A and B are shown apart, each in its own frame.
Chain A
Amino acid sequence: MDNVEVKKLEKFALEIRLNTVKSLNHLGSGHYGGSLSIVECLAVLYGKVMKIDPKNPDWEGRDYFILSKGHAGPGLYPALALLGYFELDKLMTLNKDGTTLPNHLDRMLTPGVDMSSGSLGQGISVATGVAKALKMNGSDQYVYCIVGDGEMNEGQCWEAVQFATAQDLDNLILFIDDNKKQLDGTVEEIGGKRDFAAIFATFGFDSAAVAGNDVSAIYNAITDAKKVKGKPHVIVLDTIKGQGFPYLEQKASSHHLRPNEEEKVILNNFIAKLEKELEGLNNA
């Protein structure tokens, strides 16, 4: 990827981040932490890697994306809107009465959303099923799936891992959003310390770990993964919960934010800062 392309993806990530925070701020509360930590990964997938057609969301030849950590829907919607799956203003209806953009993903409501999720641990299994079907069809389509590091607590995730290796699903690229936190605290204190990249390698995955806020590193990891045949792939994203929003990055409890008066100001300032940055890029 040349420098121009890197800049393009970084800008896309900025726009996703800005619109994520704007829509959550408009709603008044929500899952900021886990929505923000996947922004760069989404920018790479939707900005460059995936074979998709926003005009035809159900195109049979598309690559599939399953956001297993379904509470991060507010991070995905801006990516879809910016690509034209639906109008950008729709983002302001996020999780309101009668919306088509619920906090937790619903494939029956939102164009471009491949799978409903929100009950943690289920999306990853569905991703293995899609990958299996594509293999049965002899297709070269890929399945991308993001799973939370806390979500990996669920036993079902490890069933999916065994299935993926037993079925040689090398068309499955799994990302673990290793943001080190779940709802009640750190993943380490609740589920125990673990090295996902090493564990997945032991299970028989092609395994890599990258800086989750670096679009080139993520892109390169995907390109490298595709060179390895016969094994499912995992890319562990080393991220920070609330990534790119300095206030939330350092806040201990960052899963869900219902801002107090002081935090409302912080949010508005952050939105203004991102808007300015974007304006700068547009003028450059």
Chain B
Amino acid sequence: MLKEGTKEIRQVYVDTLINLAAKDKNIVVMEADLAASIGTVKFKEKYPDQFVNCGIMEAQMVGAAAGLSLAGKRPFLHTFATFATRRPYDQIFISLGYARLGATILGSDPGVCAEHNGGTHMPFEDIALMRTIPNCTVAEPSDEYMMKALIEMSYEKGGLWYIRAQRKKAMQIYTENEKFELGKAKVVKDGKDVCIIASGICVSDALQAASLLEKKGIDAAVIDMFMIDPLDKDIILKYAKSCGQILTVENHFIVNGLGSAAAEVIAESGTGVKFKRLGVDKRYGQTGSLNFLKKEYGIDAESIAAAAEGLAK
């Protein structure tokens, strides 16, 4: 049985930034009137001169981040995932991407994690938008240890990063000393009958689905594809060959997210496999509790198990 992690993801974000700022005066933390929601108020108290609350001006925040970056700073931007990507997309694309300027953008509460904030706040398209930017690294942590590693990695590697993550606690998938590498997925459970590729909150549900499948005699592998770009193509092809059936699960549209990325790799490799994408299909978000929404959009453990069973048959 999985257990819940020890720290909220937002707390990990803030603590990691505080640690980085202790070593680097060029770190700048930026908010667009959601500092209270993510907890960077604590960062502001410690490093007031390295904190900027832009107000409800997402496009301005991105533009100013590009300017800060141009002048040698390393900006970390946060707002809700909708307002971090869709709203200032052109500014991200041109002022950061095209101009080859670095920043780490955290979009919080992606997809159903937006819960009671409802449809206007529930992005199922943020990965789709960000993975089409030629030089943007796109990642989605599944637990708190990975969150810390990704924030640090974005700082060390530099460039433009988009990280989507829920604010609350995640299920614990890894232990504290786990190492994560750019573009290398994690096999969290090996298996031979069907391979479930997931990211973010869907990883723990995929693991739960794998235990449900085990009871039915189906041995499912679960891969945590925490980086959508650069994508770990090798592991997808390896499991395509060994399992022969691949199921992708994402808290996102099935269009141009993880499932599409995996499909592109498989189709171009010439490896014929049974393949299915699970995720949100041509629907908007709505208000509701996390469990209600996961079920509603068919990405809860039961739906994952049913889809995997369908493939394995």
Chain A residues close to B by CB (< 8 Å): 70, 95-99, 102-104, 106, 116-121, 150-151, 153-155, 182-185, 190-191, 253, 255
Docked-complex contact B55 and A182, CB < 8 angstroms: yes
CB distance from B80 to the nearest CB of A (A): 10
Query: How far is B60's CA from A255's CA once the two chains are assembled, in angstroms?
Result: 23
Docked-complex contact B34 and A104, CB < 8 angstroms: no
Docked-complex contact B53 and A106, CB < 8 angstroms: no
> For residue A157, which residue of chain B has the nearest CB?
B56
A-B pair count, CB < 8 Å, reads 78
Task: Tell me whether B174 is interfacial, beta carbon within 8 Å.
Answer: no
In the complex, besides A183-B33, A190-B33, 19 extra interface pairs with C-beta distance below 8 angstroms are: A70-B120, A95-B116, A97-B289, A102-B118, A102-B119, A103-B118, A104-B117, A104-B121, A116-B120, A117-B120, A150-B55, A154-B56, A155-B59, A182-B33, A184-B31, A184-B33, A184-B34, A185-B53, A253-B36
* B118 in complex: contacting residue of A106, A150, A190, CB < 8 Å: A106
> For residue B57, which residue of chain A has the nearest CB?
A153
Q: Which residues in A have their C-beta under 8 angstroms from that of B35?
A: 184
Task: Tell me whether B175 is interfacial, beta carbon within 8 Å.
Answer: no
Q: What number of B residues sit within 8 Å (CB to CB) of A?
A: 27
CB distance from B119 to the nearest CB of A (A): 6
Docked-complex contact A98 and B288, CB < 8 angstroms: yes
Q: Which residues in B have their C-beta under 8 angstroms from that of A154?
A: 56-57
Query: How far is B35's CA from A249's CA once the two chains are assembled, in angstroms?
Result: 22
CB distance from B170 to the nearest CB of A (A): 21
Task: Tell me whether B166 is interfacial, beta carbon within 8 Å.
Answer: no
Docked-complex contact A153 and B33, CB < 8 angstroms: yes
Docked-complex contact B118 and A183, CB < 8 angstroms: no
Chain B residues close to A by CB (< 8 Å): 31, 33-37, 41, 53, 55-57, 59-60, 82-83, 87, 116-121, 286-289, 292
Query: How far is B36's CA from A255's CA once the two chains are assembled, in angstroms?
Result: 11
Given A155-B59, A182-B56, A184-B53; A118-B33 close (CB under 8 Å): no
* B120 in complex: contacting residue of A95, A119, A185, A253, CB < 8 Å: A119
Most chain B CB atoms below 10 A, which of A70, A95, A98, A183: A183
Query: How far is B36's CA from A182's CA once the two chains are assembled, in angstroms?
Result: 11
Docked-complex contact A102 and B33, CB < 8 angstroms: no
CB distance from A155 to the nearest CB of B (A): 6
Query: How far is B55's CA from A184's CA once the two chains are assembled, in angstroms?
Result: 8
Given A95-B287, A183-B33, A190-B33; A103-B53 close (CB under 8 Å): no
Docked-complex contact B36 and A184, CB < 8 angstroms: yes
> For residue B37, which residue of chain A has the nearest CB?
A183
Q: Which residues in B have their C-beta under 8 angstroms from that of A104?
A: 117-121, 287
Q: Which residues in B have their C-beta under 8 angstroms from that of A182?
A: 33, 55-56
* A97 in complex: contacting residue of B53, B55, B288, CB < 8 Å: B288
Query: How far is B285's CA from A104's CA once the two chains are assembled, in angstroms?
Result: 12
Query: How far is B120's CA from A99's CA once the two chains are assembled, in angstroms?
Result: 15
CB distance from B253 to the nearest CB of A (A): 18
Q: Which residues in A have their C-beta under 8 angstroms from that of B286?
A: 102
Q: Which residues in A have their C-beta under 8 angstroms from that of B118?
A: 95, 102-104, 106, 118
Query: How far is B56's CA from A104's CA once the two chains are assembled, in angstroms?
Result: 17
Query: How far is B301's CA from A95's CA once the two chains are assembled, in angstroms?
Result: 25
14 A-B contact pairs sorted by A residue (CB < 8 Å): A102-B118, A102-B119, A102-B287, A103-B118, A104-B118, A104-B120, A118-B118, A118-B119, A118-B120, A120-B56, A182-B56, A183-B37, A184-B41, A191-B55
Q: Which residues in A have their C-beta under 8 angstroms from that of B57?
A: 153-155
Q: Which residues in A have their C-beta under 8 angstroms from that of B36?
A: 183-184, 253, 255
Q: Which residues in B have their C-beta under 8 angstroms from that of A253?
A: 36
